[in-house]
Structure 1
Amino acid sequence: MDVDARVRTDPAGALLSLHDVEVRYPGATEASAQDISFDVRSGRTLGLVGESGSGKSTIGRAVLGLVPISAGSMSYRGEDISHRDQRVSRRLSAHLQVVFQDPYSSLNPNRTIEQTLVEPLLVHSALGSREMRDAAAEMLAEVGLDEAALGRYPAHFSGGQRQRIAIARALIVGPELVICDEAVSALDLSVQAQVLNLLKRLQADRDVTYLFISHDLDVVRFMAHEMVVLRRGEIVEHGAAEQLISAPKHPYTRRLLASAPVPDIERQHRRREAARSFAED
């Protein structure tokens, strides 16, 4: 591991902290993620970036408690959540939510939008049925959809609209931390921009924290305050997003930058030439 990759923020001010976390799936000869250490500060966005198989989604699933960790520790607001039981997981779900990649499979096609949005409130609130409907309508308005959507089914909406509904479902209980796992990668570029701007606005309005997982460096650059670059399950670089992208230190980060599509052909050529020179160093 690169020395710079292990520099961490002040854990006392962190919402979420991972320290030397390892995830090893049963029967696997190698860990899917190992020696993972970083902090996510409240009201900020930390981006996890890397190619397919880099371990970024595995880390997100570990934070959510969907896969167990085999070594290391995780804490949320100072509470150890490394090996949480069902009671702790249920309590945490009010504070920790997720927006998945596929807006088509993440919503139950047999439930109306109202049923989808109200479901978390049934678990985490004491609201009456009318109050829950009002809360669902208000949340839809926050993500740019009309109250009339409540009575409709997911099949009636486009991919971008479905992802707005998924975001509404994640935020309706007022979580502190939302994991966005490739949340815009299945969307057209123009729709991606709309959803990313929506996520930024909601962060400013609600002071929500994001752990933003993506293979797209440009998307992470737009969203994240800090960035963690992963390769084959290990952190190779970690730092302020803008600084890391403008002056990457690790050859893998440089290769990611050089391979990222950009509209300016001349700029893309310069990136490739730079990557070639880095490889020769």
Structure 2
Amino acid sequence: MTIKEALESAEIEPLDAEILLSSILEKPREYIIAHNDNELSMEELLTWSEFHQRRLDKEPIAYITGTKEFYGKQFLVNSNVLIPRPATEILVDLALDFLHTEKAEVRDSDTGIIAIAVPMGDMTDVQSVVDVGTGSGCIAITIKMQRPDLDVYATDISPEAINIAKLNADKYVVKIYNTEGSLLETLKNMRDPFIVVSNPPYIPEDEKLMKDVVNYEPHLALFSGKDGGDLLRELIHQAIAHPLCKGIVVECKKEHRSLFEKIQRST
């Protein structure tokens, strides 16, 4: 079977088929299109058959190929971590700007989704960033690559997620302090001022999602109580209580914006 025949016989979206074949052949999509008369080997055909069926079953492309692009870099992912999304790049941009401006700001990042930054004290001496709920590590690693001078910490309650974050840090040869634990509980001995950056679970537990999300992505990283704000409230509470936390930058739903008024009242 040629590449062209595989593409023409596919029962999935043409773009999905091109991406999967590109992954199998370890070639860019442009190669797939330009060399579609090339014959696939038996091993490639077997992998194609497996990938094709997994996509028919609505498994996300990123989990099938094992990678997802974020901020121009390819990150390793599996079903233990949330798939990085373009909207979260806005969170990274805001965090990097916030370290300079030290000003409260809200940015739209997707339909009904915002990135919000709120200062909690003097940020003049802040040289540390804590990525809470790091998942694949894409946020922490991207910030470290953009600001090598910073000390970047990554925490997650899932040991499997921490392992993926470590693999991605090794891949890009960046030093990230990865620790397993819930929210800020691993920072009790922190001695330097820091800001929190987080893309926590913020989806209401009864909200309907697409099958390729709800059936495959970790619910621990998606849902958080009746209104989606349970973990956000606890994160904000812990951030206020920590004497060295000087600011917080979070991705959340627009309706969660009011939760951050508590920070502004307490600082």
State whether TM-score is above 0.5. Answer: no
| TM-score, normalising length: structure 1 | 0.29
- The structure with the largest alpha-carbon Rg is 2
User: Scaled by the length of structure 2, what TM-score is found?
Assistant: 0.30
